[in-house]
Amino acid sequence: MTQGTTTTQQPAPSPAAAAAAGPMKRMLNQTRWETLAMVKNGEQLVLILFMPLVALFALAHTTVLDRLGLPRIDAAAPGVLALGILSTAFTGQAIATGFDRRYGVLTHAATTPLGRGGLLAGKCGAVLAVVAGQVLLIGGVATLMGLRMNWAGVVPLVVSALLGIAALTSVGLFIAGLVRPEATLAVTNLLWIVFAGAGGVLMPAHFMPAPLSHLIPLLPTSALADALRSAINDGAWAPLPMLVLVAWAAVGTLGVLKTFKWTS
């Protein structure tokens, strides 16, 4: 699991540099800095790339998902991609933001020309950049392993991923802005384990006994994985899972707006 050291490795863009740039340039600079902070952190890389790839290889070489009636790599790839998005948008971003609060990064950045909106936009932009890299890497590895992507599902896949990012990032920021960094670290790591094991990510919800099989699809992780399965395997939209993601994104965003604390 990742620790809360991501944003202390290099200085944030200086107020003078931020003032010299326009709003869009400031946001892009922050996005670049946030992205580099994530990919240069070894613990983050383990969480967002190494563990999903391990899961991909494990599921592709075991009988765990054989009940889906698909080639193993086809059955595994959507859930592993959902796991990568969960790692980046939820766990990694929540922990990084929580410790940004602890070390005063949020307070400092909010008083510069970047502003609070630019800071949050930069964090969201970094998540998008890293997830794009995950999609290319995990998708590329899965393709080499024999994944048969239904190309009619490219647009549903992109939309589903964006909705999943919105839902998971907003919930992660809600937790990071509400509780102490140590609690954020503990809660998000625990939830990552629960979601990965029993949140409908790697194992579809209908594998679970009732009543869990009826409740798990209401989780954002299960909704994201189901939407990706529909896109990748069937080339189709998944209206109900996508509606669940929209609902979680709305609730998470409202929670951030109402409760986010910029200092610990």
pLDDT digits (tens, 9 = 90+) for 149-205: 999 999 999 999 999 999 999 999 999 999 998 999 999 999 999 999 999 999 999
pLDDT, the chain, mean: 89
pLDDT higher than threshold 60 for residue 256: yes
- What is the average pLDDT across 93-104? 88
Share of the chain above pLDDT 90, in %: 64
pLDDT at 85: 97
Binned at pLDDT 50, 70 and 90, residue 14 comes out as: low
pLDDT at 171: 96
pLDDT higher than threshold 50 for residue 8: no
pLDDT at 108: 79
**Higher local confidence (pLDDT), 187 or 263:** 187
pLDDT at 200: 94
pLDDT higher than threshold 70 for residue 145: yes
DSSP the chain: ---S-GGGSSPPPPHHHHHHS-HHHHHHHHHHHHHHHHHT-HHHHIIIIIHHHHHHHHHHTSSTTGGG-S-HHHHHHHHHHHHHHIIIIIIIHHHHHHHHHHTTHHHHHHTSTTHHHHHHHHHHHHHHHHHHHHHHHHHHHHHHTT----GGGHHHHHHHHHHHHHHHHHHHHHHHTTS-HHHHHHHHHHHHHHHHHHSSSSS-GGGSPTTHHHHGGGSHHHHHHHHHHIIIII----HHHHHHHHHHHHHHHHHHHHH--S--
pLDDT at 87: 96
pLDDT higher than threshold 50 for residue 58: yes
Binned at pLDDT 50, 70 and 90, residue 80 comes out as: very high
Q: Where are the domains of the chain?
A: 6-259
- What is the average pLDDT across 28-54? 89
Q: pTM (2 decimals)?
A: 0.88
pLDDT at 215: 94
